[in-house]
Every structure is written in structure tokens, then in C-alpha cells.
Structure 1
Amino acid sequence: MKKFHMHKQILATIGLCGLLLAAPASAQLRIGQPSGFTGSVAAGVKENTEGAKLYFDAVNARGGINGQKIELISVDDKFDPKVTVEVARELITSKGVLALFLNRGTPHSQALLPLLAEHKVPLVGPSTGAMVLHEPVNPWVFNVRATYQREAAKAVEHLASIGITRIAVLTTDDTFGADGAEGALKGFAEAQLKPVLLEKFPRDKPVFTELAKGVHGSNAQAVMVIGSAGNTANAVKAIRAAGSRAQAVTLSNNASEGFIKLLGDHARGVIVTQVFPNERSVAYGLIKEAQDLAKAKGMPGVSPAMMEGFAAAKVVAEGLRRAGPKPTPAALRDALEGLRNYDLGGLSVSYSPTNHTGLDFADLSIVDASGKFRR
């Protein structure tokens, strides 16, 4: 009799296991993030991700969306476009993600475009302002932040407005650098100026000694460096070592506390363009919400890079909410394209079949003596 009962228990256990295996994979809303958690952009990527998790965790604590929790699956692509595609394909085919999200890098985002079309999966909130993701409109890409061209042009126009006319430009030799340089040249044209120096540097392990001498020799009053955080910090250090006191300027891809740490003693006075409001400005509901959630977790505050991740997370969560109780990648895409005047908290996001830009906010900040961004 004991053997019979034991046999029944074993069968019951096997049956239960079978039911568990047959059930949907934990009914999670899976979002895949292939990004550079190691390499020259790691500091900013980690802050982007902290900001996204801040919002996703808050949504999940309230019960998730339609009873399902959001699961962010972050994978290191080592900031290599080839690896980006490899890990993104794995996220789509093996992990069943509903969207790719908050990846870093212009060449990396471009490399993903064929994959999005092949698998009909949206990319939401890429952490790049590349114009190629805005024009022509890609049906699978939903940007949340302004373009690099807008930032670069605004920075040059600002410098010109305060009497700085001798401006050098150093750009990484890839599609990101070319895109940013195009925006800078628009700013020069608007101000009726030309750069005193326009040079490229390799994306991988550049040496800035000669370029820094060129900046010093050009008598530049300001130098715009369009590159990753690590490369930009090394460029600024080399420029200072060459004897130049030119005002250093860079774009929002470097709007992270990690970038300030990389600059070290050379951080003070560096201008960084921003694509979200001041992270201490609680007049914006978006900022106050992020600050309150960070405080509840015992964090000291939020950085600009965290705000980018936080805003992108709000957009993808709203898309999931509108995509229904059993969302598919295609349903999420359609839901996002239907967003009109969605209030992030003082900033409004709209998409349409002819516009996937999202926000067009651009501002300037400067690093102060305490190592904080000031507006």
C-alpha cells in the first residue's frame, strides 16, 4: 500500500512539473537591452539602466501591467556593433522579448535595423540621437530623445552668442561622429562661422597627442569633442596637457556622473549638452517622480543619463499598457505609434506614421566645482 501511495505521489509530482513546464514562461513582459556594459561607454550605460529599472521596479511593485511584470533582460554587447546584433538576435529568438530597448551607440543601432525588420520587433528609446533613426522614419524605431544634430548646432550657436568664434571640432571616425559633425556644421553656418579645426579620431584606442597639439596650435577658444565618454575624457586631458585652455564641449551621450569621474581634475567648466530637463528641477513632474523613487531606494539622486533611461522606460511601459493583456511585438509597435501627447511629466511625447522622434528638448549644462551638472 505504501508503495502504491508513493507511486501516486511521484505521478502527481511529474504531472505538476509537466504543467509548470507547459505554462507560459512566468508570464513576464520581457524587454531586451543589448548595450555596452563594458568598454568606453559603460559608465553612461549603467546609469541609463539604473534609471530604467527605477521606473520598471515601481511599475512592478504596483502589480505590473495587466497583471504581468516587466522583466528587463540586459546583455553586454561590449560596445561592438557585431556583438550587438548577435546578442539582440538571441534576445528575440531565445528570450522572446517584446522589444529591444535603450541600446547605446549609433553604428550599433544602425546594425540592428535589418534585424528589427526581419523579426518585426520594435526598438524603443535607443540611447543615441542619430539622425538616421529619425529620417527617414523607420516603422520599428521609436526615439525618445532629441537628435545629436540639434544638440551640436545648439552648442555652436551658444558659443557664438557669447563671443566665442574660434571653435575646433574633434569627432570619432564613425557614423555617430559624422552625424554630430553635420549638426555642428549647421550651427557654424547659422552663426556664419567655420571651424578652425575639424579632425577625426579612431573609435578604438585613439591617441590624442597630435590632435591636442593641433587644437593648441589653432588658438581655439573652444573645442567640441564628439566621442564616447572614455575617449572624450582622454581628449580633454591631452588638450590640457598640450597647453590649450579652450572651453571643452561635448554632447549628451556623455551626460553621466561616470563621465565626470573620468575627467577627474579636468571636469570643472566642461559644457555638456542635455536632452532632458535639469535633473534637480522638481517643477517637472518627470523629474520629481524619478527623484522620489530614487530617494525611496536610498539613492542620492538622479543623473541626466538616469533620466534618459527613466523616460524611455515610461514610454515602453505605456506602450505595453495600450498593447493589451497579451501583447505581441507588432501590437506594441502599433500601440506606440498611436501615442499622442502622452505626458511624461512636463514633457509630451507623440508618435505618428510620419514621426518617430518623440522629444525635441535640448539644453546646455556646465560641470561645476563640485562635479555636478549646472544649467
Structure 2
Amino acid sequence: MKTKSWNHLLRRQLVGAALALGLSALAAPLAQAQLLVGQSVGVTGSAAATVKESMLGAQLYLDQVNARGGVNGQTIEVVTLDDKFDPKLTLENTRTLIEDKGVLALFMTRGTPHTLGILPLLDQHGVPLVGPSTGAMALHEPVRRNIFNIRAPYQREVQKAIAHLSLLGVQRIGVVHVDDGFGEDALAGAQKGFAANRLQALFVEKFDRAKPDFSAIAPRVRAQEPQAVIFIGTGAAVVDGIKALRAAGVGGQIVTLSNNASGGFVQALGDQARGVVVSQVFPSERSLSYAVIKEAIGLARAQGKDLTPAMVEGFVNAKVLVEGLRRAGPKPDRSRLHAALESLSRYDLGGLELSYSSADHTGLDFADLSIIGMDGRFQR
């Protein structure tokens, strides 16, 4: 288990960030980092590429906030523990963050079984989790008191993809999914999508999360001659699976979900990336019509970086976290932060409107489709 605090990263970049924003480095003296936020996430493991980008997006916004003196005079420190995308380590890390580190909140966990597994700890200690990077319906319905979702559910993504394929006349659609809570949830959305469009799945294949093996699956998929395959899984496993399908001669459209919307995913696919459809739960990283995207682009360029969809998710999540901390007042605790988050009603993130209440912790309902172009960028 590795411990990595963002605090030293923030301090190192504060002066540069302040100058990039046209601020005096002395105009906003730093308070001691007092707002402690915890994160257990797969810094290494199969989701590492997307995790890195989403964390970078969040850091862009947190750097800016801390450069301006923090929230109510207190800077934000995110303590990140590497769970290697292992749900058992996620639970262990979360216990450490809550009970030993005393964090105010958890932030941007990744993975459906990982997040579901820590629910009892969150409820036991009354710790809000802001922006879990999973669209599992089980985190939306019923309402989980301490889960504050931001992204739309996976089921909405899959249904949108199937509706789009059906509109194009594509009917022979199969599903390959990881055999865990994430895969089962997205499969349920696919079944709803098929029913809504009067279709049936051509096939449903599943693979082991811990040891994915596509040597037998790929030939079976090829034998079905699908027009499209919806591939539900994470990072490295989906990359390996797509390559196995193509090597076996599967020529249909490949569709995967927003958890793979990262530059690292595209890079790992290499020559097989072009034409893969990836659903999205935030506006395009190049859409200047959204103020939040324009803001993120400006901060990324100031650091010599190009914005990616995963960075957008991290950036938006950080904005919600900071607004909750601001509304929690100068002496925030877990209870005050929870109440502050539930007070967010029609909150404008910059062209995206987010609302919470005691009866609704869903957040946004945005869903779109993109396709990886010849240049390796997501096109809509």
C-alpha cells in the first residue's frame, strides 16, 4: 500500500499557478493545510491510466483554489492511498483514512465493487464521499446517504449507445462484460436498452475481473458475426479484449463506457483505437460553449497540458467538493459538509447544473457518445 499526499505537489506548483493566473504570489498567503480529504484509488493497476488523468484534472482546480488562499482561509489537502484497483485494499485504505487520518470526506474513489464495499464504513462514521468514479445504479437507487454522485449512471450510457446503434440500423449487437458488480449493472442497462429498441442481445459473454482471458471468448464472438460489440470493463482488460477480438477477425463496431474515456486508454489501444466508440458523461473537452470547459482548458494550458475527458471529470468533481467545503463554513466537520452538499440546488458548475437533496444524490444526467478519430482524440 502506497501513501501519496497531494500537499507537496500543491505547494510546489502554487507560485507558478498564481503567476499564470496573474496573481501576486504574496497576495494570497497560504494557510496551513487544514481541510483533509481522503482518496483510495488505483494509482497502479488496470485503471491507472484513467486514474492519473482524473486526478490531474482535480488537481488543476485545487491548485487554483489553494493559490488563492484556500476555502475560508484553509487550504485543501488530498491524501491518496493506492489500492491497486483491489476492492480489499480499498476497504483497508478507507478505514485508515477515516479512523487514522480523520479525513472530512472521501473523494473520487474508482470502481463499483470498491465503492459498494466501503458503504458500511461511510455510514458508520458519517463520512461523505464526493464524486465516486462509477456510475453504478446501486449508488443512485436507493439514495445512499453518504454518496454524492456527480456522473450519470452507467445504465444511461449503455441505453444511449444501443439507441444510437439501432437508429443506424445496427441490430446484431453483443455484450462482453466483466464479471463483477460493474459488469452486472451495465448489463442490466444494456438489457433495458435492447428491450426499449425491440432487440435482443446477440450474445452475452463475461470475463474474470482479476484474471481476464479472452482466448476462448474471441473465437465465439467471431462466430456470431456481430455488427457491434458493447465491451464493459476497465482499462487494461478492455484494451486486451479489443485487441483479442480484432485478432480473431471481429470487424464490427466496438463500444465501451466512459470509465475508459482517457488518453491513456487510447494510447494503450494503439492502432486499434481508431473508430472505437466511447460514451461520455461530461461535455467535450474542447467545447468552449461550456464555461467549465473553458476554465479547465485555461488552467491546463497554463501548465502545458491538453485537457482530456478524464481530466474534465476530475475538474468538475473538484468544483463540487470545494463548493461543499465553502458552504460548510469556517469550522467544517463531516456533518456540516453533508448538510452543505445537500444544500446544492441548481448549482451552476459552468453550463452544467447540479442539484442534491435529501431524496436525490444523483448529481448530473449528462450522457453523450464520442468516437476515437485518426488523431487519437475523442470526436463527437
User: Which TM-score bucket, shorter chain as reference?
Assistant: over 0.9
* 1:175-254 equivalences in 2 (<5 Å): 175-254=181-260
Equivalent position of 2:108 in the other structure: 102
Distance apart, 1:205 and its partner CA: 2.1
Paired amino acid for 1:219? E
Bigger Rg, structure 1 or 2: 1
Distance apart, 1:325 and its partner CA: 0.2
TM-score normalized with structure 1 length:
0.92
Name the SS of the counterpart of 2:254 in structure 1: strand
Equivalent position of 1:353 in the other structure: 358
* 1:121-136 equivalences in 2 (<5 Å): 121-136=127-142
Distance apart, 1:295 and its partner CA: 0.9
How far apart, CA to CA, are the structure 1 residues paired with 2:221 and 2:313? 32
How far apart, CA to CA, are the structure 2 residues paired with 1:55 and 1:330? 24
Distance apart, 1:27 and its partner CA: 4.6
How far apart, CA to CA, are the structure 1 residues paired with 2:335 and 2:196? 41
Equivalent position of 1:318 in the other structure: 323
Candidates 303, 309, 334, aligned match of 1:304? 309
How far apart, CA to CA, are the structure 2 residues paired with 1:314 and 1:361? 17
How far apart, CA to CA, are the structure 1 residues paired with 2:33 and 2:90? 26
Name the SS of the counterpart of 1:350 in structure 2: strand
Equivalent residues of 2:107, 2:129 under 8 A apart: yes
Equivalent position of 1:146 in the other structure: 152
Is the aligned partner of 1:342 residue 2:347? yes
- Sort the Cα spacing of 1:243 and 1:27 in 2 relative to 1 into closer, same or farther, 3 A: closer
Distance apart, 1:229 and its partner CA: 1.0
Flag structure 2 segments of 5+ consecutive residues without an equivalent.
Answer: 1-30
Name the SS of the counterpart of 2:330 in structure 1: coil
Flag structure 1 segments of 5+ consecutive residues without an equivalent.
Answer: 1-24
Equivalent residues of 2:32, 2:75 under 8 A apart: no
Candidates 336, 349, 362, aligned match of 1:331? 336
How far apart, CA to CA, are the structure 1 residues paired with 2:364 and 2:271? 34
What is the aligned residue count? Answer: 350
Is the aligned partner of 1:273 residue 2:279? yes
How far apart, CA to CA, are the structure 2 residues paired with 1:127 and 1:138? 15
Runs of 4+ off more than 6 Å: none
Equivalent position of 1:137 in the other structure: 143
Distance apart, 1:72 and its partner CA: 1.1
Q: CA RMSD in A?
A: 0.9
How far apart, CA to CA, are the structure 2 residues paired with 1:232 and 1:271? 13
Is the aligned partner of 1:260 residue 2:263? no
Equivalent position of 1:5 in the other structure: none
Name the SS of the counterpart of 2:175 in structure 1: strand
How far apart, CA to CA, are the structure 2 residues paired with 1:342 and 1:61? 23
Paired amino acid for 1:316? L
Name the SS of the counterpart of 1:28 in structure 2: strand
Equivalent residues of 2:33, 2:77 under 8 A apart: no
What do the CA deviations read for 1:225-245 (whole angstroms, capped 9, x no partner)?
100111111111000011110
Percent identical among aligned pairs is 59
How far apart, CA to CA, are the structure 2 residues paired with 1:246 and 1:76? 36
Paired amino acid for 1:198? V
How far apart, CA to CA, are the structure 2 residues paired with 1:215 and 1:255? 24
Paired amino acid for 1:357? T
Name the SS of the counterpart of 1:290 in structure 2: helix
How far apart, CA to CA, are the structure 2 residues paired with 1:173 and 1:319? 35
TM-score normalized with structure 2 length:
0.91
Equivalent position of 2:36 in the other structure: 30
Equivalent position of 2:85 in the other structure: 79
How far apart, CA to CA, are the structure 2 residues paired with 1:161 and 1:57? 44
How far apart, CA to CA, are the structure 2 residues paired with 1:184 and 1:273? 13
How far apart, CA to CA, are the structure 2 residues paired with 1:298 and 1:142? 32
Paired amino acid for 1:165? Q
